[in-house]
Chains A and B, each alone.
Chain A
Amino acid sequence: MKETENIFLDLINQHKAIIHKVSKMYTDGTEEQRDLFQEIVLQLWKAYPGFKGNSKFSTWMYRVSLNTALVYFKKDQRKVDKTPLDAHIDVMDNTESDQKEEKLAYLYKAVQELNAVEKALIFLFLENQSHKEIAENLGISELNARVRLNRTKEKLQIIIKKNGYEF
């Protein structure tokens, strides 16, 4: 058991960025993010005995993480915070790293206005998944994935523009 646990922890730590990104996509606040992160880790651990290695560990992680986020339920479901993005993000220096962080912060903020499935579509797209892979992960047709991803990208651009940011 201890050995299985160690193998699992090694694998999950190699890919922990997936859990971080899903948690940030689906929650709006540090505490909630931590809760969802914990929930995903727990669900991954519960599902791990069923992982037979037929697919890559990261592929399996995408599914469990996204499915957990899609049905995750907190008692105090918060409404989307629609205050201007600038109010939450300090003025940053113009170093490349800061600009990158700022851009991602704006992206995460804008994504909060998408619905759960649209978030999944954008997440998988940003993770470099093809339309076919997105369709397989979500259980929808490839055509549907393509059309809906394009619509979601347009919607996201409108949200970002509306919030006064352009990149």
Chain B
Amino acid sequence: MNFDDIKNDWNNPDVGAETISASMLKVKEAHTPIDIIRKKMKHEFFYQIFFLVIMFFLPVMISFSATTQMAYLACYAIICGFSAYYFFKFYKFYKNSYDMSMDSRKSILWFYYEMKLNIELYKALTYIVAFIAVAFGAIYILVEQNADLSKILAKLSPVYILLNCFISILIIGIITELWAWYYYGKYLKRVKKVVDELDFE
């Protein structure tokens, strides 16, 4: 194979007479991994807002005692606080523009770390909300003193209860990691592959 011959042919290509028109600039949706992740996070943002609204009306639908209601409101306020903080971070990520004219290594590393950071933020929010929900569950069990529930609890050893808490936390962790990997990880993996190919010597 003669690369010089190929170069000659390569540099005189027939690219057709089709002209790039203004309509091609009007397309709004880009398909870089970061754009895809942003779009998915935007969808999740609306689900979370919906979930928070439903949570607000939960005490109306379920009759809590005054103490449980106080605990619920405290947990709800904490979840809202954390959600607001993370929503703000995601909003910044969503609005943050990227520079495609840097050299490839810089550009792709930026993509990689920006995506990784936001996936970690996403996981952190999921952990926080899940742990607060578990904590509220524990408060509910202890405060409500439901007769049947008290009977069951009295029969269980503290070690068994602690073990259950540990397993619950482990399951939350595994589900969060798997979900984040399934939903966002493949994009990160693809960009990481290009980073590794660039760093290969």
| Structural contact, B104 and A70, CB atoms closer than 8 A | yes
| Structural contact, A71 and B33, CB atoms closer than 8 A | yes
Interchain CB contact (< 8 A) of B103 among A5, A20, A136: A136
Chain B interface size, under 10 / 10 to 19 / 20 to 34 / 35 or more: 35 or more
Which of chain A's residues have a CB closer than 8 A to the CB of B107? 63, 67, 70, 139
| Structural contact, B105 and A126, CB atoms closer than 8 A | no
Assuming the contacts A104-B10, A139-B106, asked whether A68 and B100 have C-beta atoms less than 8 A apart, the reply is yes
Expressed in whole angstroms, the Cα–Cα distance for A104 and B200 within the complex equals: 28
List CB contacts (< 8 Å) of B153-201 with chain A. 187, 190-191, 193-194, 197-198, 200-201
Main secondary structure of the interface of A (DSSP, over half): helix
| Distance of B175 from chain A, by nearest CB (Å) | 24
Interface residues of A (CB under 8 A from B): 5, 8-9, 12-13, 16-17, 19-21, 35, 38-39, 41-43, 45-47, 50-51, 60, 63-64, 66-68, 70-74, 100-101, 103-104, 107, 115-118, 120, 125-128, 136-140, 144, 147-148, 153, 156-157, 160-161, 166-167
Interface residues of B (CB under 8 A from A): 1-3, 5-7, 9-16, 19-22, 24-25, 27, 30-34, 36, 97, 99-108, 111, 187, 190-191, 193-194, 197-198, 200-201
Can you list 9 residue pairs at the A/B interface with Cβ under 8 Å? A5-B25, A12-B20, A13-B19, A16-B20, A42-B24, A71-B111, A103-B5, A116-B193, A138-B105
